[in-house]
Amino acid sequence: MNMTLTPTTAHQIRNVAIIAHVDHGKTTLVDKMMLQSGQYRNEDLAKLAGGQHGLILDSNDLERERGITILSKNCAVRYTSTSGDSYRVNLIDTPGHADFGGEVERVLGMASGTLLLVDAYEGPMPQTRFVLEKSLLHGLRPIVVVNKVDRPDSRPQEVVNEVFDLLVEMDAPEEFLDFPVVFASAREGWATLDLNEPSDSLRPLFETIIEHVPPPEVGLEDGPLRMQVTSLDYSDYVGRIAIGRVREGTIKRRQRVLVFDRQGNSAERQVGQLLGFDGLDRKEVESVAAGDLCAITGLEPIEIGDTISDLTCTDPLPAVPIDEPTLHMT
């Protein structure tokens, strides 16, 4: 069994939410980031080469193969910087345009920055407005990725100006208006900060993420365990799988924990499997430390918004009602 995922400390982790209008290239970009970080297994690549499955992110077969769905589509991409340090970039998907049940709030709560992915021809679309506004309210600074700059009809500089105007219109904080811009061709697998400079990889995008997205804020890394369940998955084999970001302390496999619900009740339960994110896989790990995301089995009954603490914790995170059924249309 893989005992830990590397890297493991918060300063080597970047949690980034991707905000993109449909068809602007989110799937292609994430796919290429994983490909360039060497994270696909050989059998995945064989399937890709066979052309039967399209992009990995859309592959239902792979999801079934694992027995656990990857509905939440968190991808963890390993990256070694030009200065030789290794990082893990957790790419967190956000819902397209409608928001059911506060999902946007929950996923943004796991992120420390956003990638605002915009088509270099179409420009920013109003459908992503809701998610973008929420991200600004969460204090998440956007990195603007102008994608499809290979298109002959692309107009990247105008699109940057349109994004600027949109942020002004949304009353974005002054410091966010000076956003970093990365020009990319996700399809061709390259990114550049300067359109006059050729690039043959997505490295400039990774470097921008490392530089501009802060590492996750954590409480005391050696403090008591505190985390909140931000989403749930389900598997026929293990039932409900709780997903969230560890805010403080460390969670361990088989650890006995307290689960607090919104009614203020707490119950002692035992962590079953503890899974870390690695590429599109979830891998069993021995422990997950503050700042990182994890998936946990064995805590049923468990609900979104519940919080998890160790048995000695006298000051758990409050369980908040973040799954009220609301529908926001934009």
Interacting residue ranges for ligand GDP, rule: CB under 6 A:
20, 22-28, 147-148, 150-151, 185-187
Least separation in angstroms between residue 24's CB and ligand GDP is 5
Least separation in angstroms between residue 77's CB and ligand GDP is 16
Cβ nearer to ligand GDP, comparing 84 with 152: 152
Q: Is 148 annotated as a binding residue?
A: yes
Least separation in angstroms between residue 58's CB and ligand GDP is 8
Cβ nearer to ligand GDP, comparing 22 with 170: 22
Q: Is 149 annotated as a binding residue?
A: yes
Q: Is 128 annotated as a binding residue?
A: no
Least separation in angstroms between residue 229's CB and ligand GDP is 27
Cβ nearer to ligand GDP, comparing 28 with 307: 28
What is the 3 state secondary structure string of the chain? CCCCCCCCCHHHEEEEEEEECCCCCHHHHHHHHHHHCCCCCHHHHHHHHHCCCCCHHHCHHHHHHHCCCCCCCCEEEEEECCCCCEEEEEEEECCCCCEECCHHHHHHCCCCEEEEEEECCCCCCHHHHHHHHHHHHCCCCEEEEEECCCCCCCCHHHHHHHHHHHHHHCCCCHHHHCCCEEEEECCCCEEECCCCCCCCCCHHHHHHHHHHCCCCCCCCCCCCCEEEEEEEEEECCCEEEEEEEEEECEEECCCEEEEECCCCCEEEEECCCEEEEEECEEEECCEEECCCEEEECCCCCCCCCCEEEECCCCCCCCCCCCCCCCEECC
Least separation in angstroms between residue 199's CB and ligand GDP is 13
Cβ nearer to ligand GDP, comparing 25 with 216: 25
Q: Is 238 annotated as a binding residue?
A: no
Q: Is 4 annotated as a binding residue?
A: no
Q: Is 26 annotated as a binding residue?
A: yes
180 neighbors 212 (Cβ within 8 angstroms):
yes
Q: Is 168 annotated as a binding residue?
A: no
The position carrying tokens 């908040």 is 320
Q: Is 150 annotated as a binding residue?
A: yes
Least separation in angstroms between residue 85's CB and ligand GDP is 28
Least separation in angstroms between residue 121's CB and ligand GDP is 9
Q: Is 28 annotated as a binding residue?
A: yes
Cβ nearer to ligand GDP, comparing 22 with 98: 22
Cβ nearer to ligand GDP, comparing 26 with 141: 26
129 vs 133: CA distance, rounded Å? 6
Cβ nearer to ligand GDP, comparing 39 with 297: 39
Both ends of the chain: CA-CA distance in Å? 45
**Feature table: binding site for GTP:** 23-28, 147-150
**Feature table: binding site:** 23-28, 147-150
